Amino acid sequence: MLRRIGILAVAALATACLTGAPPVTADEGPEQIPNGTFDTTADPWWHTSNLDFELSGGRLCTNVPGGTVNPWDAIIGVNDIPLVKDETYAFSFFATADPSKVARAYVQLPTDPYTQYVAAAPEVSVSGNTYSYTFTSPVDLPNAQVVFQIGGSATPWRFCVDNVSLKGGAPPDVYKPDTGPRVRVNQVAYLPKGPKNATVVTDATAALPWQLKNSAGTVVAHGTTTPRGVDASSGQNVHSIDFGSYVKAGTGYTLTADGETSRPFDIKPDAYADLKLDALKFYYTQRSGIAIDDALRPGYGRPAGHVDVAPNQGDKNVPCQPGVCDYRLDVSGGWYDAGDHGKYVVNGGISVAQIMSEFERTKNAPTAKPIGSLNIPESGDAVPDVLDEARWEQEFLLKMQRSDGMVHHKIHDENWTGLPLLPNLDPQKRELHPVSTAATLNLAATAAQAARIFAPYDAAFAAKNLAAAKKAWTAAKANPNVLASASDGVGGGTYDDAKVSDEFYWAAAELYITTGDKEFENYLLASPLHTADIWNTGAMDWGNVAALGRLDLATVPNALPGRSEVRASVVAGADKYLAKLTAHPYGLPYDAASYDWGSNSIVLNNMVVMATAYDITGDLKYRDGVLQGVDYILGRNALNQSYVTGYGEVASKNQHSRWYAHSLDTSLPNPPRGTLAGGPNSSIQDPVAQAKLRGCVAQFCYIDDIGSWATNELTINWNSPMSWISAFIADQGDGTVKAPGACKVTYTTHGSWPTGFTTQITIVNTGTKAVDGWKLKWSFLGGQKIDHGWSANFSQEGATATAENETWNKTIRPGQTVVIGYNGVSSPGPNPTPDLITLNGAACSS
């Protein structure tokens, strides 16, 4: 799946800066730079009007004024530089800065969109250094431009440059990733009572001895490897190591095999508690339309983006593309989709749906635990932080709906912008793009889900969402084939999708769960997707969303006829992915010959299916499949690196982004902890990947370079399964499996009326020991509330209700029954029997 086609190549094809080293030379090629030595004149170099040239000591110098905002506000350049397609060039220069500053050097197209073939951002010192880069030109171009962008400083400074050179005939840049030791492990942690697996890259064909050592270097376990042959996804001959029998918690463990020692890792019961929160905290710093508070995210504070404050043209009064509409909409807020400043409904849809489902799982899964504080501006209100964050995106999706119910597909800049560029500094005109059936159904689905989830906290917002969902459904039925254009990719991704039957199915599922209406039940039961095997190489992505509906029908209480078959189908899908994982030498539930764009999210979404099967069945093999699958994401892979920023000894940190752009501007940060990189992509569409990774084998089609948008972008729909899965793993504690409750509960709603209902609950102790004090818990589907009850002390928080024993019925002896009941206040929609009822924290049978 290609997230975007035709995205502008704004990234460097350059090698790493060789600060202080001799320049790369190309003695065979002629010099392409006219007067790069500045011995007697500055001609034919030019500058912006706020600069003046001065020749000083054989260098070209200029005093750069302070108070400029953008790098391109002050430029030195030279034009008409010829480039030959597929020729490799050496580009070098000497520069000084007083005081030290970051300068940007580009070889680029001289007109809009200013495609950059080299994009370098060295930190230039007072004493000066020579900087060298090689790149292969992807175009024939007679009039390329070499420029130094030196604006963007609040204070004045002095810049000098000399010996600017560009020569063809340079040796091609041969990229070889540093994969470190040949023993590959999860560099973060394994759960003490969970599976523990590693991979050894070796030429050996026979089994090898391995040793597990603690932080003191003491051997604490040993065994022999299992040869696996050549792994097709990496081209490596590999062996597997299983050290799951070792269960002692500790830090700084290493594995040694075949003369190599792994990177260190921990065995910890709380290993994923931080990642559970960090993967969600990613969304706060992706917010549009609000200043990011540095006190909440130290190092990530920035002004609000796209709020109609210059140079932004803003999102509060956005016109359509020419010829699309004659109105304007306020579409402020929401999350920036990825490394650019665009906002896309179909990508926002799956992202916010998975975040809401992560919360909904806490109501319905036996092992799920509350998510906790995210330290966001809304923290401390009566709403769980995860829902406050989801609401920021959902409010934006609602704004994208026009009066007839159809929804605009996306909103982004008129033209592509370069890197780096903070959101508040984006000067581009913003445009609404045409409505689409896919976007309309995305809103129908997420708004229906939001309607039931937010009902206990904000009835008005829930009602607004339900009205929007129904309106969108009606509009999509009337306009079932309004497709986004595959050619609409200037300034933003296309997100075109030729089929929308899966969006119809997903929307119908969410609307049925929330409303119980016969229309949606009939649609689901008649849809071919309802019984189809939808578990493809990847379970779901923004363009394939049927699984989102299937998973919620299986796990959120509802009365759909044949629901048991729906649940069985999810388990069958999990079996398919578990089989792939078991067969794969690196232990991941993905076996594509060529890795797709965003392959890491595919791996994680397939793990969501396995985790859901565990929630449904309690069968440990599915949970252990998830615990093994995450090893790949966190280091047990061919590149021997974690794909999550801040997690693992060697981890991605240069994801493609306009404001997490430290490698281009040292004043900017790397992405925050918990940010997932897209991962290996065999199609290597961007120039950096094409230059570095040509001929790569699947797992090796990745580079941690900010310019590689095809392999290394960050996106909201990649972090959503990362968040879901990290929460699932964190909820497993040390891996100990809790025994099911020795109890049976019968939950019966005896009667209902327009404003209320009455329910009786019977508790039976099916164990051999007396229960001495009890607390019963369950959750409502939506905004139902307990009014008053009898034979127990009732309380409620959000949708979750609690009944605690009275003094007189505190003890329940084996085989004894306790009956309690309550009257409740109705909420719009159905009031199904809960799937999960726990007694003292353990799930009871029904």
Contact 90, 132 (CB under 8 A): yes
CA-based nearest residue to 16, from 508, 706, 626, 515: 706
First to last CA, the chain: 42
3-state secondary structure of 220: strand
Return d(Cα 135, Cα 692) in angstroms, integer: 10
Chain centre distance of CA 719: 2
Catalytic annotation present for 656? yes
Whether the CB-CB separation of 76 and 151 falls below 8 Å is answered with no
Q: Is the alpha carbon torsion for 528, 437, 497, 341 positive or negative?
A: negative
Set 510, 631, 704, 731: catalytic member: 704
Query: How many CB atoms are closer than 10 A to CB 415?
Result: 15
Eight-class DSSP state of 245: T
Instruction: Compute φ and ψ for 201, nearest 5 degrees.
Output: -90, 120
Of 174, 8, 135, whose CA–CA distance to 694 is shortest? Answer: 174
Is-contact 488 494, C-beta < 8 A?
yes
Active site residue 713: yes
Between CA 440 and CA 471 the distance in angstroms is 9
Pairing of strands 116-120, 104-108: antiparallel
CA atoms of 125 and 708, how far apart (whole Å) = 28
Residue type at 418 in one-letter notation: G
> In whole angstroms, what is the distance from residue 415 CA to residue 356 CA?
33
Q: Are strands 250-257 and 226-231 parallel, antiparallel or unpaired?
A: unpaired
Beta pairing partners, 267: 190, 250
Active-site option among 412, 433, 584, 656:
656
- What is the C-alpha to C-alpha distance for residues 495 and 541, in angstroms, rounded to an integer? 11
Got the DSSP string for 117-184?
EEEE--EE-SS-EEEEEEEE-SS-EEEEEEEEE----SS-EEEEEEEEEEEE-PPP--------SSEE
Q: Quote the CA–CA distance of 832 and 757 in Å, as a whole number.
A: 12
Report which DSSP code applies to 424. Answer: G
* Paired residues of 431 in beta bridges: 412
Across 12-136, the runs of DSSP E, i.e. the strands, are 46-47, 54-56, 59-64, 75-83, 88-98, 101-102, 104-108, 116-120, 123-124, 129-136
Structure tokens at 340: 């650019």
Cis preceding-peptide flag for 589 (omega within 30 of 0): no
3-state secondary structure 674-732: CCECCCCCCCCCCHHHHHHCCCCCHHHCCCCCCCCHHHHECCHHHHHHHHHHHHHHHCC
Report which of 665, 669, 692 is spatially closest to residue 681, judged by C-alpha positions: 692
Token match 């005093």: residue? 63
Q: How far apart are CA 35 and CA 504, in angstroms?
A: 63
DSSP category for residue 535: -
The answer to whether 90 and 165 are in contact (CB under 8 A) is yes
Task: List residues bridging with 124 in a β-sheet.
Answer: 101
Torsion of CA 549, 552, 553, 558, to 10 degrees: -140
**Has 28 been annotated as catalytic?**
no
**Cα(134)–Cα(171) distance, integer angstroms:** 8
Catalytic residue among 340, 393, 488, 502: 340
Which residues does residue 486 pair with via DSSP β-bridges, in sequence order? none
Active site annotation includes 123: no
Number of helices followed by number of strands (H, E) in the chain: 14, 40
Q: Which amino acid is at 8?
A: L
In the block, tokens 């009898």 appear at: 790
Active-site option among 488, 496, 713, 731: 713
E strand or H helix at 628: helix 620-633
Q: Cα–Cα distance between 411 and 288 in angstroms, integer?
A: 12
Catalytic residues: 340, 656, 704, 713
